[in-house]
Structure 1
C-alpha cells in the first residue's frame, strides 16, 4: 500500500500513509518544538523530571526509516511504515543509556495501529517511562464522555500528583483535567455525542492512561493551541508511568495500541473495568 515521502517548503520530510477507503496518516515536524497534535511519543520520561526536556526527547528528534524491520504480512487494505530512533551522543549526555526505539505504524480502514519497541543495547540495565500522547479531535469537549476508567485510582497532576479514586460513572469535562489513571483496562471508549462517533482505544504493555485537557486559561498560554482549541481536543494516552519499565542489557520491551472509530452506541455502558478482561485481543 502507498507510502509516500514528500518534503515541505522548508525541505523537511513528511511520510504519508494511505489506504483505499480514504484513511490516511501523516507525519511532519518543524524543529525545535514538538508537534501539538497527532500522537507524540513520550520517552524516556513523562512530565518534567530532572534534566530532560518535557516528556523526554523522542518527540523532538528526527527518526529514520527502519530498513532492518522484519517484514509484516500485509493485508490489501493496510499501509505500514517502520521507524527507528537510536541514542545519539547528544542524548547520552542527558540520559546515559544506549537504546533503540522502534515504532511500527499501520493504518487500515478506520483503524490506526502503533507498535512501539524499546531495546536496551547498553551493558547495564535501565528503566524508562513511555506514553503515546493521543490528541483526539472532538466536536465539543463538554459533550464528550470517557468510559472504562470509572472506579480506578489516579494521580491528579493538578493536585501535586495526589492519589484519588474515580467516583463518576464516566468521565465528563467541565474544566481543566490532568490525570494519570492506574492499572487501566485494555479497552477505553471516548464517546463524542455530537459527532455520534466513538474512539475505541485498545492497548497492551502500557497499563496507565493519561487524560488531559488544558481548558481555557492554560490554552491561552499555549501559542499553538489557540484560544478555543481546547474545546475540540482531548488527550487520552496509553502509558507506562507509575511503574517504569526495566530492561536488562539486550532485553526488549514491546507495546501495542489500536485506535479505531465505531458507532457511539457500540461502547456505551459496556466498559465497567470490573468486567473488562485485562488480556489483549
Structure 2
C-alpha cells in the first residue's frame, strides 16, 4: 500500500463514508448539514459509492444477465462496459453535482484518475472482470483534502495496462480508509445502527455481534452490514460505524480498542 508523507506537523483527522447505491437518491439536507459540521470540526471526508440499482436496471434493459457470487457481482465483458459507464458517466457526476449544489466542494474520481488504485483480476474464471486492489496512491487525495475538497470515488479500478475492473464498494472503502489512515469508516444505510430489543446500541465490540447473530437478535439485512464492518476491522481500520443519514449510529470496534 503506497501512501504519501504528510507535509503538515499536525495529524490529519479523516473519515471515509461509504454510500450504498440504494442510498444515493435518498440523501437528505440533514446528511449534507452533517457533512458540513464534520468539516467544520476539522475532519477530512472521503466518499466512496456504489451504484447497484442503476447498474441492475441498465443490464436488464440491455438483456445482459448478471449474478452475485460470494458478495461479488460476476462481471462479463459486456457487463464491465455497462458498470463503467453507469458509475463514471452517470452516478458519480450526479452525486458530485448534488454535493456542489449543497455548497460542499467535491470532485469525482475513479481508479483511473492519478492511478488512484490499481488492481489485478481477482479470479477471472469465477467473477470475470472483477478487481482486487493492489495499490492505493494517496497523493491526489491528500492534495484535495488539504484544499477542502471532498473526493467522491466510484468503484471502478484499473489494471496496470488500463483495463477497467469492477471492484466491490466495501473493498474500495476499506482499502482507501487504510491507505489514508482514516480513524473510522462509516457505512451509511437505511438503518441508523444496530438495535437490540429495540434499543439503539451506541458502541459494540465484535464478540457482541457474533453473539447477537447466534441469538438472532441481529438478522436479515443487518447481517451483511455487520459482517462488512467486521471485515474492515480485521483489515486494520480502528473503528467502523453503521450509521443513518445523520452519520450517527453504532460504533463497532475490536475487543480492547478505543473508538
TM-score by length of 2: 0.34
Q: Highest Rg: 1 or 2? A: 1
Question: More relative contact order in 1 or in 2 (CA 8 Å, sep 6+)?
Answer: 2
Q: Give the number of the structure whose residues are more often helix, by fraction.
A: 2
